[in-house]
């Protein structure tokens, strides 16, 4: 509710009303037409998702009403949760987990001031992106946080295969969104690790058509 209210229909589904009762909460969102699922392979250069990312990143963290965690807190929680899967998958992955912790620490030290944070979606895979009017993408079902726009960019590059290898997708989105390439690569490695471990352990299919082995290979390879 906080995130949809903040975006106000720009890049995300519009929030029309919300209700909180004893049995839970309910949201009413505006209709998305045609509302069909986005197929990454129909977006050969990631142009639609880049446009959506730029819209989402226009909402500053300081303008958000309500309390949200930081993007780094979200990543740290995901790393901790995925650590439980490592012994069953491959104990040797433990050293890469330690590398991911070190990478997260490095990202935290290089973050921009908090006043420059933006509202993040947090889970930009194809299952959370619908085609709206004028063939533009509309984001739904956020796991919102506040942080750097590069976090959502790296997340989207890692979780959606539009026909290019992951390093190329990272470069394409960083350039299209005028973002810092090194930051996007770092966030993409963290997203690739978390998504790769989770989907390998659970066997769940990635909606964006990505191979979990590709994600883990990318995450475990040092950036150039």
Count of domains in the chain? 1
pLDDT above 70: percentage of residues in the chain = 92
Residue-level pLDDT at 8: 87
Mean pLDDT in residue range 99-119: 95
Whether residue 81 lies inside any domain: the answer is: yes
Q: What is the DSSP letter of 12?
A: B
128: in domain: yes
Establish if 9 belongs to a structural domain. no
Residue 7 lies in a domain: no
Residue 113 lies in a domain: yes
DSSP per-residue codes, 157-222: HHH--SSS-HHHHHHHHHHHTT--HHHHHHHHHHHHHHHHHHHHHH-PPPTT---HHHHHHHHTSP
Give the mean pLDDT of 198-204: 94
> What distance in Å separates the CA atoms of residue 182 and residue 223, rounded to the nearest whole number?
9
Query: Is 145 inside any structural domain?
Result: yes
Q: Is residue 109 part of a domain?
A: yes
| pLDDT cut 90: percent of the chain above it | 77
- What was the pLDDT predicted at 118? 98
pLDDT, position 134: 86
**CB-based contact 223:181 (threshold 8 Å):** no
Domain that holds residue 49: 32-219
The CATH number of the domain holding residue 48 is: 3.90.1200.10
Q: Is a pLDDT exceeding 70 seen at residue 224?
A: no
Predicted TM-score (pTM) of the model is 0.93
Mean of pLDDT values over 142-163: 97
Residue 224 lies in a domain: no
Does the pLDDT value for residue 25 go beyond 50?
yes
């Amino acid at each position: 509710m906080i995130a949809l209210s903040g975006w106000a229909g720009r890049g995300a589904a519009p929030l029309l009303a919300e209700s909180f009762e004893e049995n839970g909460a309910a949201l009413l969102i505006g209709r998305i037409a045609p509302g069909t699922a986005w197929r990454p392979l129909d977006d050969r250069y990631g142009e639609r998702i880049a446009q959506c990312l730029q819209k989402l990143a226009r909402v500053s963290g300081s303008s958000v009403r309500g309390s949200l965690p930081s993007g780094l807190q979200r990543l740290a929680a995901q790393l901790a949760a995925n650590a439980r899967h490592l012994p069953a998958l491959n104990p040797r992955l433990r050293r890469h987990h330690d590398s991911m912790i070190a990478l997260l620490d490095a990202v935290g030290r290089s973050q921009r001031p908090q006043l420059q944070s933006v509202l993040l979606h947090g889970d930009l895979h194809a299952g959370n992106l619908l085609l709206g009017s004028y063939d533009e993408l509309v984001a739904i079902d956020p796991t919102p946080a506040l942080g750097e726009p590069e976090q959502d960019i790296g997340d989207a590059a890692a979780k959606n295969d539009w026909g290019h290898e992951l390093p190329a997708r990272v470069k394409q989105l960083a350039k299209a969104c005028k973002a810092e390439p090194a930051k996007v690569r770092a966030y993409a490695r963290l997203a690739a690790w978390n998504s790769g471990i989770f989907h390998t352990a659970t066997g769940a299919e990635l909606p964006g058509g990505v191979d979990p082995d590709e994600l883990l290979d990318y995450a475990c390879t040092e950036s150039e």
